Amino acid sequence: MIERKASRTAVLVCQGRAVADGRLAVGRFADPLAADLLHADEREPVERVRAGERPAGFGPRMEFELLSGTAELMAARTVAIDDGVRDSATAQLVLLGAGLDARAWRMPELAATAVFEVDQPASQQDKRARLGDRTPLAKSLTFVPVDFAEDSLAARLAESGHDPGVPTTWIWEGVVPYLTPDQVAATTALVAAASTPGSRFIITYPVPSPRNALGRKALGLLLRGARHPNPLANEPFRSSWTPPVLESLLAAHGFEVTTDIDLLTIARDLDITPGRPRFLSTGRIAIADRP
Ligand SMILES: C[S@@+](CC[C@H](N)C(=O)[O-])C[C@H]1O[C@@H](n2cnc3c(N)ncnc32)[C@H](O)[C@@H]1O
């Protein structure tokens, strides 16, 4: 068995939502729980970005830039996913690699929906400790510990009360890059096997980008040189997808792509003017339905 730590990238994207809350796409995006879920030392850099205070040291400055870009990306992808969830209005919602996602606590539209949060066990334990006794708005919330690299998603979901005969919306947000192509294909097959007609699969994914790969490498080296922690260090990128390749994987499992759009276009539609457009243009969100 692989011993994993709680995901650090889950904290990074939660910090991004906390930066964006009340500042980006106001009226369309809000995640007040994001800041509450952060520990004090994780909230400090968030507050600096919200205040627009560029720190002096090189490491904190890099962190400032990373969080600013992450906030833009998170506002765009959250709004697009929330819209996709509202439109499908299924009785079951499964979040695959849920991290510190707050949908079950912040979306009143889920009042009639059974929500299942799937994540690797260490990340899930960490989230539960952060949540304390907060009550979800969803009809029910079930935590399902699963490591996509080694556990059977189908078996764990069935034990947890997920009904494959009832339409399900699946959200796979910010997880695909951390899985190998084989793991992505295997998980897609399991999702399909538990998806009756009327189900929806929402996936965010990165397109291949040698420039981004180089950027991540440079960021790692620079942060190491500055002796500043690198939030991406323990979770290497393992896969990226072109829209046609993802579409054919989904089609092979009975899902038809309804929309597939890049995050830069979504951000611009929300009147977000990204400081780092390329960061957003290489991320996409596909919404696929099972007719
Ligand atoms: C960047 S975070 C995204 C979290 C959340 N979906 C969001 O957007 O806020 C990546 C998530 O993928 C999960 N993850 C990565 N590899 C995994 C695996 N092999 N099995 C289960 N979960 C995994 C991590 O635990 C983490 O919660």
280: domain CATH number? 3.40.50.150
Question: Distance between CA 253 and CA 240 in Å, rounded?
Answer: 19
Distance 119 CA to ligand 1 centre (A): 6
Give residue 172's pLDDT.
98
Question: Distance between CA 289 and CA 12 in Å, rounded?
Answer: 30
Average pLDDT over all residues of the chain: 95
Give residue 2's pLDDT.
55
In a domain, 172, yes or no: yes
Task: Check residue 104 and report its DSSP letter.
Answer: H
Where the chain has pLDDT below 50, the residues are none
In a domain, 12, yes or no: yes
Task: Check residue 134 and report its DSSP letter.
Answer: P
In a domain, 34, yes or no: yes
Residue 239 identity:
S
Q: What is the pLDDT of residues 16-59, one digit of tens each?
A: 999 999 999 999 999 999 999 999 999 999 999 999 999 988 88
- Determine the structural domain holding residue 259 and report its residue range: 8-289
Instruction: Report helix, strand or coil for 52.
Output: coil
Distance 48 CA to ligand 1 centre (A): 26
- Ranges of beta strands (E only) in the chain are 92-96, 114-119, 140-145, 168-172, 200-206, 256-262, 283-289
In a domain, 119, yes or no: yes
Among the listed residues 68, 28, 14, the one whose alpha carbon sits nearest the alpha carbon of residue 277: 68
Mutate to test the pocket of ligand 1, among 42, 116, 119 (most ligand atoms within 8 A of CB): 119
Give residue 150's pLDDT.
86
Query: Which residues have CB under 8 Å from 214's CB, separation 6+?
Result: none
In a domain, 276, yes or no: yes
Among the listed residues 131, 141, 136, the one whose alpha carbon sits nearest the alpha carbon of residue 92: 141
Among the listed residues 280, 277, 289, the one whose alpha carbon sits nearest the alpha carbon of residue 261: 280
Which H or E element spans position 211?
A: helix 210-225
- Ligand 1 atom with the smallest distance to the CA of 150 is 19
Give residue 10's pLDDT.
97
In a domain, 169, yes or no: yes
Q: How many domains are there within the chain?
A: 1
Mutate to test the pocket of ligand 1, among 31, 178, 188, 191 (most ligand atoms within 8 A of CB): 178
Site residues for ligand 1, CB cut-off 6 Å: 7, 9-10, 13, 97-101, 119-120, 123, 146-149, 173-175, 178
In a domain, 2, yes or no: no
Distance 148 CA to ligand 1 centre (A): 10
The gap between the terminal CA atoms of the chain, to the nearest Å, is: 38
Q: What is the pLDDT of residues 97-133, one digit of tens each?
A: 999 999 999 999 999 999 999 999 999 999 999 999 9
Give residue 77's pLDDT.
98
Query: Which residues have CB under 8 Å from 15's CB, separation 6+?
Result: 34, 38, 42, 45, 46, 67, 70
In a domain, 1, yes or no: no
Q: Give me 85's structure tokens.
A: 């969830």
- Ligand 1 atom with the smallest distance to the CA of 171 is 6
- Cβ burial, residue 111 (10 Å; 0-12/13-18/19+): exposed
